[in-house]
Structure 1
Amino acid sequence: MKKCPNCGEKVKGRSDKIFCTPYCKSSYHYQKDIEKEDNLFRKIDKQLKLNRRLLKNYNKSGKSVVRKAALLKDGFDPKYFSNYWKNQKGDVYLFCYEYGFLEKKEGDKVKYVLVQWQEYMN
């Protein structure tokens, strides 16, 4: 008889059954997932992809302006970006892959200028 890899109990039932109970199966895979070293990397990648998707959805024309609060409400996190570009005026655009943003203040409102990466930005 096989032993459950999670608790060590004997596994009863089908010949291809691996775990003794659904609880043991769930617990085993949860522990394996926690032990993975790349959890931080997956979290960062997930946020970068979310940021990119939001920037793409809000920027249909190649360059647009959107309220910062609207992006933040949808889950955007400006601390996560993949690269940056500094223009001749000294403004620093932060990019999530090919979609970028620049924070601008207009009176008491904070907005983002959204752009798409262009060849001249190299």
Structure 2
Amino acid sequence: MRIQKKCLYCSNSLSGRTDKKYCNLHCKSAYQYQKSKNEPERFYNQVDNQLKLNRKILKQYNKGAKVTVRAEVLLDLGFNPKFFTHYWKNQKGDVYLFVYEYGYLKRKEGNKEKYVLVTWQGYMEQ
């Protein structure tokens, strides 16, 4: 007596090899995608996604060579200042954190926190 196997994705009956798990490549791919969506996100993916989001936000608000933006504006969009790719220290000792080519420096003016946004310049490589 043989038990009829079913596709792991769409539950259609399978025919052919006894170790077959899917109807076709579409079902196999869809099953793997669905399975990966239910797994907790890997640390690498979390970091990569946050860097991409940070860069997108900095690019959106840095339309000039140097721009100042209230911290809450960036933070409300999901910006996380703990995620950056490198830094640059100017002659005054200020440390600008960069997400690829877009940099930021946290400043406090009065009781408001702000970010000074800059773009990477050639002279910063020295």
Q: Give the TM-score of the pair, scaled to structure 1.
A: 0.76
Q: Which runs of 5+ in 2 are unaligned?
A: 24-28
- Is the deviation greater in 10-19 or in 70-79? 10-19
Query: Equivalent residue of 2:63, what SS?
Result: coil
Determine what percentage of the aligned residue pairs are the same residue. Answer: 48
Q: TM-score, normalised by structure 2?
A: 0.74
1:49 aligned residue (46, 49, 52): 52
- CA contact 1:6–1:28 (8 Å) conserved in 2: no
2:6–2:21 Cα contact (<8 Å) kept: no
- Cα distance change, pair 71–32 in 1 and its aligned pair in 2 (3 A): closer
Change (3 A) 1:12 1:50: same
Q: Helix, strand or coil for the counterpart of 2:80?
A: coil
How much does 1:31 deviate?
Answer: 3.9
Query: 2:63 is matched with which residue: 60, 65, 87?
Result: 60
Larger gyration radius, structure 1 or structure 2: 2
Structure-2 residue corresponding to 1:108: 111
Residue ranges of structure 1 left out of the alignment (5+ in a row) = 20-24
Pick from 89, 92, 97 the counterpart of residue 89 of structure 1: 92
RMSD over aligned Cα atoms: 3.3
- Does residue 99 of structure 1 match 2:97? no
Aligned residues: 113
Matched AA of 1:94 = L
User: Which residue is equivalent to 2:13?
Assistant: 12
